[in-house]
Structure 1
Amino acid sequence: MSPRRAISGGRIDRLRTIRFTFDGRPFTGHAGDTLASALLANGVTLFARSFKYHRPRGVLTAGIDEPNALVTVLSGAVREPNIPATMLEIYDGLNVASQNRFPSLAYDVGALNQLGSKVLGAGFYYKTFMGPVIGPLKGTRFWMFCEWFIRRAAGLGSAGLEKDPSRYERMNAFCDVLVVGSGPAGLIAAKAASDSGARVMLAELDATPGGSANWSGETIDGLPAAEWAAETLRDLKARENVRVLPRTTVWGYYDGNTLSAVERVADHRNTPAKGEPRHRHWTIRTQSVVLATGAFERPLVFPGNDRPGVMLAGAALRYVNQYGVLPGQKIAIFTNNDSAYHTAEALKKAGAEIVAMVDVRDDTSVAGREIAREVGGEYLAGHAVVATEGGAQVSGIKVQRINAATGALSGDPRSIHADCLLVSGGWSPTIHLASQAGLKPEWDNDLQAFLPPKPTQNWVGAGAFNGSFSTEKAISEGHAAGLTAAGATDGKADELPSVDADAFDPNPAPVFEIKAKGKAFVDLQHDVTADDVRLAHREGFVSVEHLKRYTTLGMATDQGKTSNIPGLAIMAETLGKPIPDVGTTRFRAPFAPVSVGSLAGERYGDIRPERLTPMYDWHVENGAEFYAAGLWHRPMIYGLSGESVEQAYVRETKAVRGGVGLVDVSTLGKIAVQGPDAGAFLDRVYTNMFSTLAIGKARYGLMLREDGFVLDDGTTWRLGEHDFLMTTTTANAGKVMQHLEYLLDVVWPELKVQLTSVTDQWAGAAISGPKSRDVLAACVTGTKVDNDALPFMGIVYGEIDGAPVMICRLSFSGELAYEVYSGAGHGTHVWQALIKAGEPFAIVPYGLEALGTMRIEKGHVTGAEIDGRTTARDLHLDWMLSKKKPFIGSAMMDREGLVAEDRLQLVGIVSLDNRPLNGGAHIVEELDEANPHGSLGHLTAACYSPSLGKYIGLALVKGGKARQGTRAFISDPLRKRFGPVEIVSHHFFDPEGSRMHG
């Protein structure tokens, strides 16, 4: 039997022994143990060293609020630091190391920092490392000298450098009611909502749903609370409209009743089961939420309150009732409220000796006094613990009389022998999610705690979350909350389970510090003392936000779950104000640390999202080779056996120029611009007019940034009086959407315009070449496609093999061409129908390389030329700058620097040595391979032109227009490519446009 394992009790499986190691030492526990409970059962009380002073620290809590007992889990070469021992379930082979110590936990040289504690107070780094260094390093800043040492001393656990081999998943879920927390209130809420027919999800952060019912020791409906919870849970799991998620932390509450959660699927096993992820991230969208998240117990602030052996009374109750572990043999209890008396009663029944009950209140409850007499030991009302005694473990306490109204101590302190001190400073409802979802918390003076704000989203609270600490009241509130969340009007309240327990309310004394000699810690994880809080006040940091940042109170991994209220109380006393006047910091997501792997989910390595067009599978089946373009996977070429990339795109280009080809253009950005002011809005956004565009016609448009530089180009189609479809380049779709939304939200909120991204709604296929009209005529029904019915930039509607399509005649290739749009679900069907109709005309699918070759031959610009530094004039698009209206960028486009003659301007480049050109290569007047210099500009794109039989490119060259007809050189030292070129017009092929207008 382990030294502190109770003979009986708890919910662990005593027949299953688990073997694990801590700091290289072997230990055993039982199935159902956490690392904290298993080590406590083995008599281990020293778990960690503190952040700044390296003081010995033990377990304070039994849950996610643990500030002290953080460990590193080792799995081969993989290290995962800062895991609370209270949340880590043991399993065979678990290997754990303590943190923040050297060379060992018991003998840590960092403890010498305590000798300098007077100069290591809050903000010491702001004031200490600003002066100059004297001596050999004279002239450097003191911080620069100290930084190397400080960086290596800072932090708690250290992360490993090895790749995480685990797999993670992301899930989206939809429900009517999400219940967060599975104590009695949460279980009853889920049951009531389910009974009403709602689809319910129940999330519980612990391994065993049931919450406080698992360890309260009460009787519900004649059963021990834990058995009642297990039976209720079995009933819920059997229901088709209920999903139960154990080991799941709901960590974020966002707009639209969207919540984020992480399910720890396999952390309790050595290796995940086949196909199982380690963590699963849930994005949950729900109609309503029931917050039954309970409350966190607060510690008391007094000298020596951080010594191993000091533990929260509620945590001790959980260790003895859930894990069958005694926190000590001779136990003293120090409280300011009634809840700790439950713990005394449970520990006495489990075999511990209660040596003292110390209560700061003179006027304690009758029930409390009765329990104190039953458990034995000294009963010291109107007293306080003013110090703990011992080394790296409590061996005794000092008590002294106190006035709870003023905090004044009187009389002489005296010692009491104890090997464990349980403390309770009241309870703070776990209102983090409610605060994330809306307003500031509201102070309740009777409970000495912040209660949830009024809802701004569709949530309802129940139980201790509301400040209701009796189980009977929690069940009643849970039932009402479940009905309300489900939208039900009635329920069987008379059939609620009965509770056999003393109805204790906490009735806490006001929160205050026990002022005696010695360090009294407020934030145990970051070593923030009561003196640090007072120092912040003296330094002028009186706002709670400034207090937080100056002292780092509440900024550790536990986010101040046990320290916020005591810290505020000390600041309030220093300011001479009540706590609600001082305020509280807002709770932000995440509620608890979230693994990066769960956020990334299945994506790792290249974490960019993969976007596939509706015709992607067809492209794969027909030999396409892909590359990423604006996050989309687009066909580069459809190579034949033995073909190089250049041979493939030359073949495809010739086929289009000589006959007909088909290219997937689904990736173009598509934005629906709708509303009475849509035309006026587009006039302001584009450099040319769109309000005059006829319905059923399209127009090429140019968009500038406010500074006068080109943002994007594309075509916009007028589908109705107030209905436009804007297309953008693939890469800039998101950027343009953000730009337009900003203009409507901030610059012109009075315009009646609605924007909708419809990029994924439409599948697009561009059919190009002299035979393209023939192919369309062979397969399109419901409309004609001849020149009269469908002129250049015209739009018609019809069907292809039964699928509705919208066709616009426009060209990026420079050939007679049409863009055929269909619903995304019809994309492959329409594509295949076009391919079949084109077979008599030798149609070929072509990729981006051929498309890019044809656009270079035509001198059309893309993102390579619209690089954020070019103007409309630089790109020879000044003909699109309207002189009849202002537009975004018109006020800045004529600045002196933007109209200078020596600006980089678009030109064509022809290789004179008939060797390939490369994008990014420099254009120079004088070739100097040994010392490249004198760049005139650079190539933006290059290809082999089958129409010209030459290697050509587009370039941005200083004063490019004046240089046409001159010669220069390519200088590309990285790729060892040098050679002569001719600078020509960017219009290489069919400059008159006769082919696309034919």
Structure 2
Amino acid sequence: MSARRTSTGGLIDRSRTVRFTFDGKTYTGCAGDTLASALLANGITLVGRSFKYHRPRGVYTAGVDEPNALVTVFKDGVREPNIPATQIELYEGLEAESQNRFPSLDYDISALNQLAGPLFGAGFYYKTFMGPVVGPIKGTRFWMVCEHFIRRAAGLGRAGYDKDPVRYERMNAFCDVLVLGAGPAGLMAAEAAAKGGRRVILAEQEPRAGGAANWSGETIDGKPAAGWAKTMAERLAAMDNVRLLTRTTVWGYYDGNNLAALERVGDHLAARPPGAPRHRHWSIRAEKVVLATGAFERPIVFPGNDRPGVMLAGAAERYANQFGVVPGEKVAVFTNNDSAYRAAAALKKAGGAVIAIIDVRPEISAAARGLAEEAGVVPLLGHAVVGTAGKRLTKIMVQRFDAATGRLSGDVRPVEADCLAVSGGWSPAIHLASQAGRNPAWDGRLNAFLPPEPTQEWTGAGAFTGAMTTAEALSTGRDAGLAAASKKASRAKLPEVAAPALEVNPAPVFEIKADGKAFVDLQNDVTADDVRLAHREGFVSVEHLKRYTTLGMATDQGKTSNVPGLAIMADARGLPIPDVGTTRFRPPFSPVSIGSLAAEKHQHFKPDRLTPIHDWHVERGARMMEVGLWHRPMIYGDPGETVEQAYIREAAAVRASVGIVDVSTLGKIAVKGPDAAEFLDRVYTNMFSTLAVGKARYGLMLREDGIAFDDGTTWRLGEHDFLMTTTTANAGNVMQHLEYFLDVVWPDLRVHLTSVTDQWAGAAVGGPNARKMLEACVTRSKVDNETLPFMGIVHGEIAGAPVMICRLSFSGELAYEVYCGAGHGTHVWEALMEAGEPFGITPYGMEALGTLRIEKGHVTGAEIDGRTTARDLYLDWMLSKKKPFIGSALMDREGLIDKNRIRLVGVVSLDGQPLGGGAHIVEKGSLEDLGESIGHITAFCYSPALSKYIGLALVKGGKARHGTRAFVSDALRKRFGPVEIVSHHFFDPEGSRMHG
């Protein structure tokens, strides 16, 4: 195949030469080229190797639907794989390489996979590698032997490991009308909505507005369509209520008309301006959405349809009209509809030689005949392409074809051609509409799926709706814009379009059944035989078909392959295509950079929550860490201290005198109403209706299936007034849990729930001198043992601020929780610090807090992990026998009371080395043979009270293993060492310190 650049025409700038490299060799293109068009202009048609068979592949499309020409781009010291060459705008110094080949693109050793084609059919992973191996490695599954080689051979590009140095941004935007697609329909919709006084955002994934108008060769209002589109875009951009976003792909449609988009800000630039981002992620919330996303041309499936030189007819037309590239010296066209005739005429006009038009239909329209005359050929009607030849296309084979029966007859006729432009019809790009709601609807006229009925506030326009002519697109665009405008805009006269009245309705021919490998999904190497194999093996559901064969997966998302694949399955089942159905399209519509998703956010779509005392912690040198949504101090490190040294010092200070920790993050829920006590009895495993006013009680919640859910204390502030505290990370889940049962299961209970987490600031003060410290600063109440016994509550003041104090302990020391209004948080904290100075008060962070609780054997979310029961955690003393509660009906199931379940124990390191959270516990083994797990470590620390590394663990048998020895087995950290299994109550098991 010998593509060439035309001397005139197109939207490129021939006066600006751009140099680039591909596979280490330097080439030149023109400003306005894509990498794909520049490669074609240089005669480069072999651009990659296929996913599974490593077959030679060339440029197939001209847009985001490209399945073959995926390349790796090197920029800013980073390699980025799997970028469609059709989407890469050419810039000076662009460096790209082909993928999935070794040692070179022309000579790829893995192409030998084609000889084993029958072994690599659909489902071969599942069927071939699951049996055990016999011989010297008996018992090892075949997959374990082959995995390394399979993974090296499969796949596409190779990701890099270097840190990405560029910046990414995120934006939130709000508009009245969001228009997706700036083709003629989208431009008309945006104009109509804007003139109606609406705030409009117009998003277009291409560098310039116009869509197919840029390469259609039509005229609109007497000027070339591309020029008309440019003028419209400039007019819209000048309007104060319109924002035009080019190079922006809307990739996800979510509830509430919330859409996600990626703007490629700097990919087309050789050097980004200082401070400019590479990509910008947009979260757009719109009152109304207009979907003018156009349509994708689809192929016809026939043997050899993946050979370099075979491409879609619309792509060939676009390369000729937009980029001034004729993709072959001898071009043949194969079609089942009229749109390919326009491509043939465009190629002829650009200087190409169209040597044949092969059409499966016995008759064509007058408009198509007129275009064939312009192309200089007489169409070969009632024929089909049944094969191709050459590493790069050199000839095609043609045979008589009956479109009504699908039968071939007569002799096979060879036709020399180095480019074959194929059109199997057009499928509306309904991906976003499918994400937004229901299943699409089949249209027998277009032989394609049309968008579903809206479930959100969107309307369609243009080819998206099945309106395949420019005149229809303009009309539907204007109407969609008017419908989206709250104020009526004038129904302006539509532009006049000069174009032949083509019949774009395809004949219902999706496959030519002839001998040879015929590909349905070029990106994933799925053949027509793979689809039929899935049918024979029972994978007839479209969702099963997709996963068994990988049809329409990866970046393709069925853009070209979906309808042909479903048609072949429908044929195999003897059903119409709509009865077979279609898969649901899922976001993203096209690949999205991870950098843009994470841009300027540590947690995507989640707020950063700061306690009222946050600034004090930061000013005192606290190292902060994220706990759930909250930022909490990890340590207050002294200069030169490691994290371990800091938390050991802090924890020892609490045991020796007094320490203070910020507990504002604990979930706090106000439970009020005449039936509040009854409600808590049903929610908790233990009794709360008997709790006296002014007292608190530790409580445990189960899920309905009997699994432990959350623990915390609940304080009775009045007869019908309770304050529940929950773990920090589980606060939201507990609130949802309570609201569900109150609203759905027990709506008759007179109870009101309010989350008051943010209304209270909290400090936990603990240590032998904690009471003395509080006595020095608390007024309007005593805090002696008689006035404030264990689990008692008092109200008082600290430095003039009202406070509520409960005596309870998480550290195992004499301890109190002090709560005040959030606005007084820092004021009360500083007063507590001042009162503690004579006692050497030490603020401590999460690491020391964890150390104290591990020493004491208290459980948190690491142990209440969604798999453990109250008995597993030795909290069965809290399971009331006097009342039912959530989970009581299922907590005694056989599997949940099995003595062999993993249960809570303590472990002590016997080699003086750290244990490692998540590490396995084994009875025997080594670093080379890690042994069989009997449990795992949930948390560990160095205990200053015991002067050794200790941990909590969940181990089979639990208490029965106390006093035995085992090993910690941690392959990730290369750790294997002896441990002793002991009680999880390491320190002061009698509780004498906290009751002192």
Shared fold (TM-score greater than 0.5)? Answer: yes
| Residue pairs, 1:593-742, within 5 angstroms | 593-602=591-600, 612-626=610-624, 629=627, 632-636=630-634, 638=636, 645=646, 649=650, 653=654, 657=658, 663-671=661-669, 680-690=678-688, 699-704=697-702, 711-716=709-714, 725-733=723-731, 736=734
Q: Is the 8 A contact 1:807 1:819 kept in 2?
A: yes
Q: Deviations over 1:914-942 (max 9, x none)?
A: x99999999xxxxxxxxxxxx99999777
Q: Is the 8 A contact 1:70 1:98 kept in 2?
A: yes
Residue aligned with 2:325, SS: coil
Q: Which moved more, 1:755-764 or 1:18-27?
A: 755-764
How far does residue 714 in structure 1 lie from its aligned partner after superposition? 1.6
Q: Is the 8 A contact 1:469 1:504 kept in 2?
A: no
**Aligned counterpart for 2:989 among listed residues 973, 986, 990:** 986
Other-structure match for 1:414: 413
How far does residue 874 in structure 1 lie from its aligned partner after superposition? 8.9
Q: Deviations over 1:756-808 (max 9, x none)?
A: 76655654445774477678767xxxx99999999975587999999xx7745
Asked whether 1:375 is paired with 2:375, we answer yes
Q: Deviations over 1:835-890 (max 9, x none)?
A: 26975785967223776788799987656786889876898867654343122454
Distance (whole Å) between structure 1 residues aligned to residue 990 and residue 405 of structure 2: 89
Residue identity matched to 1:670: K
Q: Deviations over 1:162-198 (max 9, x none)?
A: 4444443444444333322221222222333333444
Other-structure match for 1:558: 556
Q: Is the 8 A contact 1:765 1:831 kept in 2?
A: no
Q: Which moved more, 1:106-115 or 1:32-41?
A: 106-115
Unmatched 5+ residue regions in structure 2? Answer: 920-933, 969-974
Other-structure match for 2:929: none
Other-structure match for 1:384: 384
Q: Deviations over 1:31-66 (max 9, x none)?
A: 221110000111111112223333322111001111
Q: Which moved more, 1:163-172 or 1:379-388?
A: 163-172
Summarize the Cα distance change of 1:821–1:12 in structure 2 as closer, same or farther, 3 Å threshold: farther
Asked whether 1:588 is paired with 2:586, we answer yes
Query: What is the TM-score when the length of structure 2 is the normalising length?
Result: 0.82
Distance (whole Å) between structure 2 residues aligned to residue 609 and residue 917 of structure 1: 34
Residue identity matched to 1:223: K
Other-structure match for 1:531: 529
| Residue pairs, 1:718-867, within 5 angstroms | 725-733=723-731, 736=734, 759=757, 763-766=761-764, 769-770=770-771, 807=804, 809-812=806-809, 817-823=816-822, 826=823, 830-832=825-827, 835=830, 839=834, 842=837, 846-848=843-845
Asked whether 1:176 is paired with 2:182, we answer no
Asked whether 1:468 is paired with 2:467, we answer yes
Residue aligned with 1:86, SS: helix
Residue aligned with 2:217, SS: coil
Summarize the Cα distance change of 1:31–1:797 in structure 2 as closer, same or farther, 3 Å threshold: farther
Q: Is the 8 A contact 1:674 1:753 kept in 2?
A: yes
Other-structure match for 1:335: 335
Residue aligned with 1:522, SS: strand
Summarize the Cα distance change of 1:623–1:303 in structure 2 as closer, same or farther, 3 Å threshold: closer
Residue identity matched to 1:484: A
Other-structure match for 2:394: 395
Summarize the Cα distance change of 1:547–1:773 in structure 2 as closer, same or farther, 3 Å threshold: closer
Counting aligned pairs with the same residue, the percent is 62
Q: Which moved more, 1:231-240 or 1:852-861?
A: 852-861
Distance (whole Å) between structure 2 residues aligned to residue 961 and residue 44 of structure 1: 68
Query: What is the TM-score when the length of structure 1 is the normalising length?
Result: 0.82
Other-structure match for 1:226: 226
How far does residue 159 in structure 1 lie from its aligned partner after superposition? 2.6
Residue aligned with 2:356, SS: strand
Q: Is the 8 A contact 2:915 2:951 kept in 1?
A: no
Q: Deviations over 1:718-766 (max 9, x none)?
A: 6899886532123544664676578679987998988776655654445
Asked whether 1:97 is paired with 2:94, we answer no
Q: Which moved more, 1:188-197 or 1:363-372?
A: 188-197
Residue identity matched to 1:341: Y
Q: Deviations over 1:630-670 (max 9, x none)?
A: 5744335556779974796379649975xxx7642222133
Distance (whole Å) between structure 2 residues aligned to residue 936 and residue 397 of structure 1: 64
Q: Is the 8 A contact 1:639 1:648 kept in 2?
A: no
Other-structure match for 2:489: 491
How far does residue 585 in structure 1 lie from its aligned partner after superposition? 2.0
Summarize the Cα distance change of 1:601–1:573 in structure 2 as closer, same or farther, 3 Å threshold: same
How far does residue 811 in structure 1 lie from its aligned partner after superposition? 4.0
Q: Is the 8 A contact 1:179 1:291 kept in 2?
A: yes
Q: Is the 8 A contact 2:179 2:202 kept in 1?
A: yes
Other-structure match for 1:519: 517
Other-structure match for 2:882: 884
Other-structure match for 2:6: 6
Q: Is the 8 A contact 2:612 2:825 kept in 1?
A: no
Distance (whole Å) between structure 2 residues aligned to residue 691 and residue 40 of structure 1: 80
Q: Is the 8 A contact 2:309 2:392 kept in 1?
A: yes
How far does residue 338 in structure 1 lie from its aligned partner after superposition? 1.6
Asked whether 1:351 is paired with 2:346, we answer no
Summarize the Cα distance change of 1:515–1:721 in structure 2 as closer, same or farther, 3 Å threshold: farther
Other-structure match for 2:312: 312
Distance (whole Å) between structure 1 residues aligned to residue 260 and residue 399 of structure 2: 48
Distance (whole Å) between structure 1 residues aligned to residue 793 and residue 42 of structure 2: 82
Summarize the Cα distance change of 1:108–1:878 in structure 2 as closer, same or farther, 3 Å threshold: closer
Distance (whole Å) between structure 1 residues aligned to residue 542 and residue 959 of structure 2: 65
Residue aligned with 1:585, SS: coil
Q: Deviations over 1:410-468 (max 9, x none)?
A: 44343444332211110001111111222211111110001111122222211111111
Distance (whole Å) between structure 2 residues aligned to residue 875 and residue 551 of structure 1: 46
Residue aligned with 2:213, SS: helix
Q: Deviations over 1:810-832 (max 9, x none)?
A: 54376684533435xx4xx6413
Residue identity matched to 1:56: P
Q: Deviations over 1:498-522 (max 9, x none)?
A: 4333343412111232233433322
Distance (whole Å) between structure 2 residues aligned to residue 887 and residue 435 of structure 1: 43
Distance (whole Å) between structure 1 residues aligned to residue 493 and residue 799 of structure 2: 63
Asked whether 1:431 is paired with 2:426, we answer no
Asked whether 1:26 is paired with 2:30, we answer no
Q: Which moved more, 1:676-685 or 1:134-143?
A: 134-143
Distance (whole Å) between structure 1 residues aligned to residue 890 and residue 868 of structure 2: 13
Residue aligned with 1:494, SS: coil
Summarize the Cα distance change of 1:26–1:725 in structure 2 as closer, same or farther, 3 Å threshold: farther
Residue identity matched to 2:61: T
Residue identity matched to 1:477: T
The count of corresponding residues between Structure 1 and Structure 2 is 955
